[in-house]
Amino acid sequence: MIKKYEELMRICLDEALKYRFEVAPNPMVCAIVYDEANDKIISKGTHEKFGENHAERNAILNAGDIDFSDKTLIVNLEPCSHQGKTPPCVDLIIEKGFKKVVIGTYDPNPLVCSQGTMKLKNSGIEVVVGILENECIELNKVFIKNVTKKMPYVTVKIATTFDSKIVTAGGESKWVTGEASRDYVQKLRSQYFGILSGSGTILADNPALTCRIKGERTPERIIIDRHGKISFDYEVFKDDGTRVFLATNNLERDFPTNVVPIEFANFRDLFAKLYNNGIYSILVETGKTILTALIKQEMADEIYKFVSPKIFGNGMDFVGNLNVFKINECYKLEFRKMEKVEDDILIKAKFLYDE
């Protein structure tokens, strides 16, 4: 049955992803009521909006008035066992008398992790945990960071040549990578709550930092301008209905109504304040100064590095001095995935910081 459970879990993952922004800061979850004897999906239910029914309750309601005693519930995240904005899903599952519950991964909240599973087992329900676990964790990586650290999930996007340059010796940076990679980045932007850049990038390129794909969501913009160098005439400050957070220590200015100034000490301080403003994930598109600081302060979770088949030789490196003098002092990463994007290569890697 494992292969069948994996097939059903993939359906859960696809359905849950549709409500990424609507359910935040809750996790993305889908549940399926499955009839193993007849290899039939009875119903599906998804958590569709924060504060409303969880996926398990919707799946049970959608199944109608049936006998659940021979049915299996498939769900990508451990059912909740605590009272929140909605009642505990575990209690309803037990009340309905399910035969089996198949779970993708445990609830990452250290206060409740495995408690739902234990309660199900103690009631006599068979429990299977760990179906497509890595994929289930990946789906809710933002939620996991949010619930365990009370901080946004931070992904750095960088585009470099084969020799890791981002600017030529003559100061040119457009375009390091190809059009397909740039289209990929537009899609990537739509998946994050916020997009962050620095004053240097704004002054050099005057980017709008919007998602240019029709129908896709534009993230809220976060600009680091510690000393107030940038005028509000730049494209990034255009009032398009999206908030612009200006991270600055120069508060003696008149700010446009769509600009929210945030005074900050370091990235930890800034990200904590952004999290409290509903920015649960951030895509960083900036130069080497901010990237270097993010790594040194251990505040970047992941990096997407687009590598073009070009060599500049001289030019600007994508990261600056990290004060690494010995190999065992280096910052470590775990390669997660590599894929071709037409002529370019995209490397996805996760930062591994010592706890």
Provide the annotated active-site residues.
Answer: 56
For the chain, first and last CA: distance in Å?
38
- Which residues have C-beta within 8 Å of that of residue 262, sequence separation ≥ 6? 245, 246, 247, 248, 270, 273, 274
Beta bridge partners of 100: 72, 126
Q: Are 13 and 139 in contact (CB under 8 A)?
A: yes
Q: Which of 87, 82, 79, 21 is nearest to 55 (CA)?
A: 79
Q: Are 311 and 168 in contact (CB under 8 A)?
A: no
Strand 344-352 relative to strand 332-341: parallel, antiparallel, unpaired? Answer: antiparallel
How many contiguous H segments (helices) and E segments (strands) does the chain have?
11, 16
Strand 332-341 relative to strand 220-224: parallel, antiparallel, unpaired? Answer: unpaired
The sign one gets for the Cα dihedral 107, 108, 111, 115 is positive
Q: Are 74 and 8 in contact (CB under 8 A)?
A: yes
| Tokens linked to 244 | 């612009």
